[in-house]
């Protein structure tokens, strides 16, 4: 009878083991399917799940007030493969998205102020930030550059990443080269006055020279070729000299240059 009793015990143990495995499988299926769906309706849920080196399931969850992926990081699971499950049944990457504050660095070229003030400002991720540029007396606001562009003032920047925005101010009556090169078609044929440094025949500033006598003028926002006259500047003797030129913006392809116009 003892052998038969031993076989019965073994069968009972195997039966319990099978039941336990089925229970674990059922619980896993519930976590993978039912919980994210129910949490989605409740306002958002993120679940991090891992399998450690011993085959045991380990995980944790994070509840949110909005329908987004949870803040924080997944639990520390030694030598495990981590996965991210988000509401809406979308599989994520091995690491959850970064949520929290983003940095907005505001710079100024020229003479003026901004609101928020120039410097590094912190904003929650996804927050729209309104930046206003105010020129100093005798100056005008020219354009935005960096992670913003155009001449609208104020401007709204959505903080979906760390960003840097520069407010460019110009002396009244002066056009900044950066503004021309940011939107060449808008300046095509327009009369402009540019103030900057004489850079001789330096290359790498957009279109190639129109003639062999063309030269480069550079201000704090960029550089551009000038054609139609040398203003008696000597290369290299006058390199770096401050000069002011008046002329019309012309395009070679989509690259702008300045054609000097003799004013009365």
- Residue 217: CA count within 13 A, CB half-sphere: 25
Q: In the chain, what is the straight-line distance between the N-terminal and C-terminal CA atoms, in Å?
A: 124
- Contact between 193 and 173 under an 8 Å Cβ cutoff? The reply is yes
The reported pLDDT for the residue numbered 65 is 34
Mean pLDDT of 100-129: 95
pLDDT at 24 over 80: no
pLDDT at 186 over 80: yes
The reported pLDDT for the residue numbered 31 is 57
Is 52 or 19 the better-scoring residue by pLDDT? 19
CATH fold label, 177-260? OB fold (Dihydrolipoamide Acetyltransferase, E2P) (2.40.50)
The reported pLDDT for the residue numbered 45 is 39
Both tokens assigned to 55: 């085959």
Mean pLDDT of 48-54: 39
Domain ranges for the chain, please list them.
2-91, 101-171, 177-260
CA distances (Å), 133 to each of 22, 123, 129, 136, 162, in order? 65, 19, 13, 10, 20
pLDDT at 95 over 70: no
CB count, 10 Å around CB of 135?
19
Rounded Cα distance, 150 and 85, in Å: 40
Mean pLDDT of 141-149: 97
Q: Range with the lowest mean pLDDT among 95-99, 115-119, 203-207?
A: 95-99
Q: What is the mean pLDDT of the chain?
A: 74
pLDDT at 249 over 90: yes
Rounded Cα distance, 108 and 66, in Å: 36
CB count, 10 Å around CB of 93?
9
Rounded Cα distance, 229 and 260, in Å: 7
């Amino acid at each position: 009878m003892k052998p038969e009793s031993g076989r019965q015990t073994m069968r009972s143990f195997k039966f319990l083991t099978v039941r336990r495995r089925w229970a674990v499988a059922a619980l896993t299926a519930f976590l993978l399917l039912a919980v994210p769906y129910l949490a989605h309706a409740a306002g958002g849920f993120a679940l991090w799940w891992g399998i450690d080196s011993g085959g045991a399931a380990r995980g944790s969850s994070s509840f949110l007030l909005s329908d987004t992926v949870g803040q924080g990081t997944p639990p520390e699971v030694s030598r495990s493969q981590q996965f991210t499950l988000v509401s809406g049944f979308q599989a994520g990457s091995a690491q959850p998205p970064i949520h929290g504050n983003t940095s907005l660095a505001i710079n100024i070229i020229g003479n003026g102020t901004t609101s928020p003030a120039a410097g590094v400002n912190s904003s929650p991720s996804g927050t729209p930030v309104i930046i206003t540029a105010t020129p100093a007396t005798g100056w005008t606001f020219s354009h935005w550059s960096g992670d913003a562009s155009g001449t609208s003032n104020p401007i709204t920047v959505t903080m979906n990443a760390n960003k840097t925005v520069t407010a460019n101010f110009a002396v009244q009556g002066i056009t900044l080269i950066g503004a021309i090169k940011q939107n060449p078609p808008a300046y095509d044929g327009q009369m402009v006055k540019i103030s900057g440094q004489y850079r001789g025949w330096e290359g790498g500033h957009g279109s190639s020279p129109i003639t062999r006598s063309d030269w480069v003028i550079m201000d704090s926002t960029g550089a551009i070729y000038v054609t139609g006259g040398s203003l008696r500047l000597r290369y290299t003797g006058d390199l770096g000299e401050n000069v002011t030129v008046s002329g019309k913006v012309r395009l070679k392809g989509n690259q702008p240059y300045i054609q000097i116009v003799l004013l009365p």
